Structure 1
């Protein structure tokens, strides 16, 4: 029976598994042993996928598409997962989605209460791929490669309590919140992905999403060579430290890169943003209770410290929002200041109302050797 579903029986010692159209990716994940590689063949798969163990999930890029399930199940009450905050958004009642378009085979791994809770939370959150560990046992070395996740009500890919998660060459598009998102995690690698037309951030990295608190150390997370277009914000890094954002292409979003902190300790920052191309992020996004309207935003630092912004090419970001312009140090809405940041060696041209702006009462911020035409206050170019 397992062979007919496109997965290997649990007694098999093979490290490679293939999933074909009509089969369930979740079945293959359930049967996989730690370290296995699951290859998802070209086709469209209608399901949510939950990963709680070390493995590689690999497809064929734009030819392997994961979309929301088409078969609804009976509405269920809200569920609190065993891993606090694992869903990445409040769990609400309503019609949950079936984990696959066809009934899954009985998983080979034991269905512990923790795993069951996380699976239901993933389905209720309506996310394409969930990678979820716990505070006591983070999921280590998950690799998601060359897949498309499209049209989910919440997120394309969501990760919580992970270490060394790798997401590469993934297309995440038209999702209702984030394209690719991670919280409570360390040493993540996000490279060569395309995140487009997502309702919030294309790429989102945070300490936690269900409470306030000081910034956490990502231990060197990397956001590299991604293409972010048509999102509300291209890349958001919120209340985290010690990571790099470089070599990315951001255009057609409402805003390019946001570094967000608050008054918590330690402060957000201690990161490098370099060699990014940030052009014409002039889509208009209406404001909400946390942010004003967003349009024409290159890079915004708010409540950040000890961050280096260098060697970026930032052009043609034009808008009338309080956040509009090329590179902006913006006063935090909760009173946190920008301190000891270095803005240097950037090409910042044709951004309005200004190429460079330094607002608020933060101290120790430096603007050095930037090629620009206008600044607020004057004299920084």
Structure 2
């Protein structure tokens, strides 16, 4: 194993081209205008200071570079500690890779997502800060498996904070801070997704959205508040077939002060247990009638929700031990409170200090926007106008007191058949 040093004026790509498996590349403070393509397994590329900056733009006469790092069919690579700015596509793109580690990077103003695990297995995104990117902050796409997104901060991105695409399995989204993104905080379109201990606040649509094809998922111990639609939503399949977010466990979450329901269930055969749901602007927990059937609700604590604490319009749903003040139909509430205090910290808060939300600061880098709530149409994918450089959404917004339509100037991103997997646990000991 060898160590290479890259100084300002040098090339990270040159060091990577000479690297052998097991080598360490240390990059010193400076600005590096390049894209680095990695095709060697088990190398580490580590920023040695706090001002190691990679930029995708040269000047107005040159096009933006697509990625800061492209990990092309490699495994065991680590990228750590970089500031990444202004690339036209993803900041870090992992294509067909496995067991790679993306750690403690700050990535902003990229045209698509900050980090994209595309067709990749067993990768880790840990303690990254991703802001102001053109699509999702972090996404998993194209036939991956067992990727883990843990303790990241994803704020003010032009689409979702974190997105897991369709037909995947075993994704983990744990202990992240997800604030002020244009659409969903966390959007899962895949089965067996584990969403645990996240703090999700002030996003433009739902805080957590479990879409159709997301069966057998778990949503546990999250704090979800002040989102412009529902705190947590289990969405039905539009075709009505039993491909919904069924058999999902929603447990021990705190959902408060959202503009619609704290938890909305529009799919069958789910379990809602020991959630604290309070002060939402419509229902606390709403079970919708057409597909919200045969669910089990036990030991939930609901109070101070504007319409009803517990609203059931489905059939064959079961209720036991739910403490609430109002319900429709009546008599769904019990008298004993089972849930812990909603102010009790979740499991992740004892492990890391909280990142401040940019929504609460006075010196916004982007205008403070508020959008119309409770829209009837939801956006599982971006809606594109005739201008392919724009992603336009149907809801209206007010930004710094001025009305505008909710359009984001992004590169066009084609819809694909996505397959991802993630897993939460210790790093595999036999990864090599």
TM-score (normalised: structure 2): 0.59
5+ residue gaps, structure 1: 1-12, 75-94, 101-108, 110-122, 134-138, 208-214, 262-266, 282-294, 319-323, 331-337
Residue 325 of structure 1 corresponds to: 261
* 1:356 equivalent in alignment to 2:285: yes
Q: Secondary structure in 2 aligned to 1:269?
A: coil
Check conservation: 1:252, 1:279, Cα contact below 8 A. Answer: yes
**Distance apart, 1:340 and its partner CA:** 1.2
Cα pair distance change 1:365/1:50, threshold 3 Å: farther
Residue 248 of structure 1 corresponds to: 198
**Distance apart, 1:51 and its partner CA:** 4.6
Q: 1: CA distance between counterparts of 2:8 and 2:310? A: 55
Q: Deviations over 1:121-162 (max 9, x none)?
A: xx99621111001xxxxx111111111111011111112111
Residue 90 of structure 2 corresponds to: 127
**Distance apart, 1:274 and its partner CA:** 0.7
TM-score (normalised: structure 1): 0.66
**Distance apart, 1:296 and its partner CA:** 3.4
**Distance apart, 1:205 and its partner CA:** 1.1
Q: Deviations over 1:85-128 (max 9, x none)?
A: xxxxxxxxxx553767xxxxxxxx9xxxxxxxxxxxxx996211
* 1:368 equivalent in alignment to 2:298: yes
**Distance apart, 1:365 and its partner CA:** 1.6
**Distance apart, 1:31 and its partner CA:** 4.0
Q: Secondary structure in 2 aligned to 1:268?
A: coil
1:235-274 aligned within 5 A: 235-238=186-189, 240-254=190-204, 255-261=206-212, 267-274=213-220
Structure with more of its chain in helix, by fraction: 1
Q: 2: CA distance between counterparts of 1:179 and 1:149? A: 9
Cα pair distance change 1:46/1:345, threshold 3 Å: farther
**Distance apart, 1:204 and its partner CA:** 1.1
Q: 2: CA distance between counterparts of 1:57 and 1:306? A: 42
**Distance apart, 1:49 and its partner CA:** 4.5
Select 2:255's aligned residue among 306, 314, 325: 314
**Distance apart, 1:361 and its partner CA:** 2.1
**Distance apart, 1:223 and its partner CA:** 1.1
Cα pair distance change 1:227/1:59, threshold 3 Å: farther
Q: 2: CA distance between counterparts of 1:271 and 1:160? A: 21
Residue 153 of structure 1 corresponds to: 111
5+ residue gaps, structure 2: 73-85, 237-244, 304-308, 313-327, 334-432
RMSD, aligned α-carbons:
3.1
Cα pair distance change 1:191/1:66, threshold 3 Å: farther
* 1:226 equivalent in alignment to 2:176: yes
Number of aligned positions between the proteins: 284
Select 1:70's aligned residue among 50, 58, 65: 58
